[in-house]
């Protein structure tokens, strides 16, 4: 394997790992705020790692520039969207989960 293939493999494996972490959080966490936490942070990191692998897989040029733009864009917008949704949930009066709710 060439060094580039090893780098792509490592970055893609890290991205898949964080995406799986985000999915487990989305399935297992008890309320909307904890799910937003898992979905925004873990999934953003997984997306950035995987898109870095994609940028490395392309030959240098316009395609790599577009992929780096995609990385920057997802890094900015994903947490912003999760924040807006969580704030809308708070405005609608959804109560956060506490340990007293645990059965």
Partner 1 sequence: MIAQILLGTAAAFLVVSLAGVYRIVTGPTAPDRVIAINLVGSNVVIVIAAIAAAIGEPGALDIALVYALLNFVLSIAISKFAVERGGFL
Count of residues of this chain found to bind partner 1 when the rule CB under 8 A is applied: 51
Under rule CB under 8 A, residue 19 binds partner 1? yes
**Closest distance of CB 102 from partner 1, Å:** 16
> How many angstroms from the chain centroid is the CA of residue 60?
25
In the stretch 73-102, what mask flags binding to partner 1 with x, by CB under 8 A? xx--xx-xxx-xxxxxx-xx-x--------
| C-beta of 56 vs 100, nearer to partner 1 | 56
**Among residues 8, 5, 18, 6, which one has the least CA distance to residue 74?**
18
């Amino acid at each position: 394997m060439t060094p580039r293939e090893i780098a792509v493999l490592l970055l893609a494996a890290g991205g898949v790992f964080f995406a799986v972490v985000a999915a487990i959080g989305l399935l297992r966490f008890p309320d909307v705020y904890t799910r937003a936490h898992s979905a925004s942070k873990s999934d953003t990191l997984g997306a950035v790692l995987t898109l870095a692998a994609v940028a490395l897989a392309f030959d240098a040029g316009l395609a790599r520039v577009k992929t780096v733009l995609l990385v920057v864009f997802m890094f900015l917008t994903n947490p912003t969207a999760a924040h807006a949704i969580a704030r809308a949930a708070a405005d609608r009066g959804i109560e956060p989960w506490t340990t007293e709710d645990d059965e």
